[in-house]
């Protein structure tokens, strides 16, 4: 909580609640207390949110004075947090309000829901609740009578639906007579909605149209879902046309989408109810795979919204190959790899495996154009359940499927159909044999965020073990590998490769995702070709590759520190002789739950009689059954261990039940938290669902 010094206000604080900038403004504490609601909405900037908080808190002081309420005015303004962090943000805010000891009493305001009230009430006693509508209506009526010149009125309850009503208004200083038709309120209040691509849409209601003064036509987005959220289309958008065809009501929109095959890309014209004069156009991708299209209609007799599933979508049309040329680049090294670098975009329909977001973007490298194979990092493709698109030469997009996901080495192999790219002059990159060493010069060749190819001369700074913080909740995290760090930073990059002077690729310049406290961050590092070439070669041969998982996470320990753990002279000399360059051993940092063969703190000396003191050697030595010598509790012991074969297909089964997303226990939970592979895992739940009401929370077994 950071105080802001603003003249004329008792207190103003900037808060960070669940990552959402929040401002708590107390204009004055008359008699020691201040009252004001919590407003949650989108703001263009923090300055705008602060200005709203200041103005509203001052207005609350005036209201309290006029109503002779013994107290001052206050207001809390929160910039709308992401849906998955809304509860967290409100819990943190409520704790702060409680810490003020009752000097500030909050309540509901714009954007503050019944669920929000329950969340805040669970953490603080200082919240005013109850239905205030009767008192508000009485106050509005008194104000209208006092003003005598209302600027707008709504007349309800007259009856005579469908008949003409004569009205007389004053416009521009003169009286004007007009006629209007009395409408049936039920007819212009939605009684059905359409589930589409995970979104919920319905006819624009009379209440919304009246509130925002927009025409009563179009389709209102009540929940953005998968199909709209990835494009930045927010709740409150009004769809006017799809593919150039008008959508004045829900029936017309449903008819259009019924005709569109899965995967169709079409245009969408819409406006936001808060900015009706600004029309926008987006290109959406029709989803009929992950989310069925269903019309639901309210049945007033049973109180149930009856479902009417849409018919199956028509089959997609044959793919038409598209050809393009390669962009011209001044640097010859960049030009040589322009035929091998692609942009990768992945969207996640369901956040399985602890995935924290829905949209990801990075670079990829063509490793076999005849078979259509591209390698990218797991920061770009974090889970098996994803829609992936590749952009070639910045001009042609094609769909791709996930062929392989490594469980901990931060790479994914994607497959595309080369026939869809026509005569585009693409080719696989030339791969080197060995990773670069510290001090060696390299070229970083990659893609900028605008998809332009660049080349930058650099130098290897270090090659050392990767050690990323543990995420919360557990999610994919790269481990058990040596990272390649460079001397000079590479800015505005989507990623790329590290090459030698001849253009051979020795490492992927990859993005590594990690979590620092509550912040999700990334860092770019080199990923040696040794780590992924074997899997690439297997896929080239048409084989199903296998990754071996030791079920442990390791880090390097200096030989001197190993001596402090009880390493004897004889073993120290053997390790020195086996690797004269590096005086190090591997120590077990974490063990997967249910594996009692390894123990945290074991220092690995040998596997099947061979010295293993680096992560590359460990990876090459993994087998289903192995004899290991480890230093444990200052004694050298021999244990039988083994590695588990992993298909690289990732999570293959997901169940959506009662508003919870349920799956098998992911590797991240077993290794990062030491939990055994038993039961099932709740990876996500929806607010307001039976799972939410029953406290079947996410990140639980």
Asked if residue 492 and residue 345 are part of one domain, the reply reads: yes
Asked if residue 343 and residue 492 are part of one domain, the reply reads: yes
- What is the pLDDT at residue 134? 55
Q: What is the pLDDT of residues 395-412, one digit of tens each?
A: 999 999 999 999 999 999
Asked if residue 423 and residue 298 are part of one domain, the reply reads: no
Contact 121, 38 (CB under 8 A): no
CATH code at position 217:
2.30.42.60
State mean pLDDT over 471-483.
95
- Residue 434 included in any domain: yes
State the total domains in the chain: 5
Write out the residue range of the structural domain in which residue 668 sits. 654-693
> Rg (Cα) of the chain, in Å, rounded?
31
- Tell me the residue ranges of DSSP E strands in 377-518: 387-392, 396-405, 412-415, 441-448, 453-465, 482-486, 493-499, 505-516
Write the burial class of residue 163 (CB in 10 Å: 0-12 exposed, 13-18 middle, 19+ buried): exposed
Contact 632, 567 (CB under 8 A): no
- Residue 351 included in any domain: yes
**pLDDT band at 158; cut points 50, 70, 90:** very low
Asked if residue 553 and residue 456 are part of one domain, the reply reads: no
Classify each residue of 534-544 as buried b or exposed e, where b means 16 or more C-beta atoms within 10 Å of its C-beta: ebbebbeeeee
CA distance 298 to 307: 9
Last-in-domain residue among 309, 324, 353: 309
- Residue 305 included in any domain: yes
When the pLDDT of each residue in the chain is averaged and rounded to a whole number, the result is 91
Contact 454, 331 (CB under 8 A): yes
- Residue 137 included in any domain: no
CATH code at position 485:
2.40.10.120
Last-in-domain residue among 511, 540, 569: 540
Asked if residue 401 and residue 358 are part of one domain, the reply reads: yes
Closest residue by Cα to residue 367 from 329, 335, 411: 411
Asked if residue 578 and residue 497 are part of one domain, the reply reads: no
Q: CA 158, 160, 166 angle in degrees (round to 5)?
A: 75
- Residue 162 included in any domain: no
Helix (H) or strand (E) holding 195: strand 192-196
- Residue 186 included in any domain: no
Give the Cβ contact number of residue 384 at 10 Å: 18
- What is the pLDDT at residue 679? 87
Contact 398, 390 (CB under 8 A): yes
- Residue 472 included in any domain: yes
Asked if residue 283 and residue 338 are part of one domain, the reply reads: no
**Residue 226 CA to its chain's centroid (Å):** 11
Is residue 520 pLDDT above 60, yes or no? Answer: yes
Give the Cβ contact number of residue 303 at 10 Å: 7
Asked if residue 343 and residue 266 are part of one domain, the reply reads: no
Q: Strand 341-347 vs strand 359-368: parallel, antiparallel, or unpaired?
A: antiparallel
Sequence-distant contacts of 635-639: CB under 8 A, at least 24 apart: 635/566, 636/568, 636/571, 636/605, 639/597, 639/598
The pTM score is 0.74
CATH code at position 78:
3.40.50.10860
CA torsion 308-313-314-316 (nearest 10°) is 170
Is residue 13 pLDDT above 90, yes or no? Answer: yes
Is residue 573 pLDDT above 90, yes or no? Answer: yes
**Residue position matching structure tokens 């929940």:** 223
Asked if residue 562 and residue 443 are part of one domain, the reply reads: no
- Residue 106 included in any domain: yes
Closest residue by Cα to residue 472 from 511, 515, 410, 522: 515
CATH code at position 597:
2.30.42.10
Q: What is the pLDDT of residues 231-241, one digit of tens each?
A: 889 999 999 99
268 DSSP β-pair partners: 242, 282
Asked if residue 97 and residue 56 are part of one domain, the reply reads: yes
Non-local (6+) Cβ contacts of 583 within 8 A are 558, 559, 560, 575, 576
> What does the DSSP assignment read for 292-304?
--EEEEEETTTTE
Asked if residue 205 and residue 123 are part of one domain, the reply reads: no
Helix (H, G, I), strand (E, B) or coil at 345: strand
Last-in-domain residue among 132, 152, 176: 132
Helix (H, G, I), strand (E, B) or coil at 564: helix
Asked if residue 689 and residue 638 are part of one domain, the reply reads: no
At 350, list the tokens. 């369901």
**pLDDT band at 301; cut points 50, 70, 90:** confident
């Amino acid at each position: 909580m950071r105080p802001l010094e603003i003249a004329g206000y008792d207190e103003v604080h900037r808060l960070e609640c669940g990552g959402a900038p929040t401002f708590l403004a107390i204009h004055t504490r008359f008699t020691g207390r201040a009252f004001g609601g919590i407003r949650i909405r989108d703001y263009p900037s923090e300055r705008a949110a602060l200005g709203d908080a200041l103005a509203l808190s001052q207005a609350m002081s005036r209201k309290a004075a006029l109503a002779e309420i013994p107290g001052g005015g206050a207001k809390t303004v929160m910039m709308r947090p992401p849906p998955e962090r809304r509860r967290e943000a409100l819990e943190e805010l409520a704790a702060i309000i409680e810490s003020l000891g009752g000097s500030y009493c909050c309540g509901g305001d714009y954007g503050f829901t019944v669920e929000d009230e329950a969340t805040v009430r669970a953490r603080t006693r200082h919240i005013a609740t109850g239905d205030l509508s009767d008192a508000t209506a009485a106050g509005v009526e008194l104000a209208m009578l006092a003003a005598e010149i209302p600027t707008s009125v709504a007349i309800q309850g007259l009856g005579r639906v469908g008949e003409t009503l004569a009205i007389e208004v004053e416009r521009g200083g003169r009286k004007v007579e007009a006629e209007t038709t009395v409408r049936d309120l039920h007819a212009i209040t939605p009684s059905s909605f359409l589930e589409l691509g995970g979104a919920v849409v319905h006819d624009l209601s009379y209440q919304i149209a009246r509130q925002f003064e927009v025409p009563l036509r179009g389709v209102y987005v009540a929940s953005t879902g998968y199909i709209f959220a990835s494009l930045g289309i927010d709740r409150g958008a009004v769809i006017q046309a799809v593919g150039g065809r008008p959508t004045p009501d829900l029936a017309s929109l449903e008819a259009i989408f019924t005709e569109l095959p899965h995967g169709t890309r079409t245009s969408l014209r819409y406006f936001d109810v808060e900015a009706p004069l600004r029309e926008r156009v987006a290109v959406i991708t029709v989803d009929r795979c992950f989310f069925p299209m269903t019309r639901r209609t309210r049945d007033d007799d049973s109180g149930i919204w009856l479902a009417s599933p849409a018919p199956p979508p028509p089959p997609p049309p044959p793919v038409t190959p598209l050809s393009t040329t390669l962009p011209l680049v001044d640097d010859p090294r960049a030009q040589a790899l322009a035929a091998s670098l692609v942009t990768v975009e992945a969207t996640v329909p369901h956040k399985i495996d602890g995935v924290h977001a829905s949209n990801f973007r990075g670079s990829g490298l063509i490793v076999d154009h005849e078979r259509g194979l591209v390698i990218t990092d797991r920061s770009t493709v974090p889970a098996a359940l994803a829609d992936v698109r590749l952009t070639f030469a910045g001009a042609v997009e094609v769909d791709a499927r996930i062929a392989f996901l490594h469980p901990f080495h931060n790479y994914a192999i994607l497959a595309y159909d080369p026939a869809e790219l026509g005569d585009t002059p693409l080719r696989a990159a030339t791969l080197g044999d060995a990773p670069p060493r510290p001090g060696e010069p390299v070229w970083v060749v990659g893609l900028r965020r605008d998809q332009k190819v660049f080349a930058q001369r650099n130098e290897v700074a270090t090659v050392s073990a990767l050690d990323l913080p543990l995420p919360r909740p557990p999610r994919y995290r790269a481990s058990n590998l040596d990272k390649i760090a460079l001397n000079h930073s590479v800015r505005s990059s989507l990623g790329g490769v590290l090459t030698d002077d001849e253009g051979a690729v020795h490492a992927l310049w990859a993005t590594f995702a990690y979590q620092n406290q509550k912040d999700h961050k990334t860092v770019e590092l080199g990923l040696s070709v040794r780590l992924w070439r074997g899997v690439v070669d297997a896929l080239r041969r048409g084989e199903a590759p296998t990754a071996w998982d030791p079920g442990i996470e390791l880090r390097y320990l200096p030989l001197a520190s190993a001596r402090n753990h009880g390493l004897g002279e004889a073993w120290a000399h053997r390790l020195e002789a086996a690797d004269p360059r590096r005086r190090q051993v591997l120590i077990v940092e974490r063990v997967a739950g249910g594996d009692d063969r390894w123990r945290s703190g074991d220092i690995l000396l040998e596997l099947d009689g061979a010295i293993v003191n680096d992560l590359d050697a460990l990876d090459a030595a993994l087998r289903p059954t192995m004899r290991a010598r480890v230093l444990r509790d200052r004694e050298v012991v021999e244990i039988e261990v083994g590695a588990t074969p992993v298909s690289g297909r990732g999570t293959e089964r997901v169940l959506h039940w009662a508003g919870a997303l349920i799956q098998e226990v992911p590797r991240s939970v077993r290794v990062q938290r030491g939990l055994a592979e038993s039961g099932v895992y709740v990876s996500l739940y929806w607010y307001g669902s039976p799972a939410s009401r029953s406290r079947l929370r996410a990140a639980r077994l």
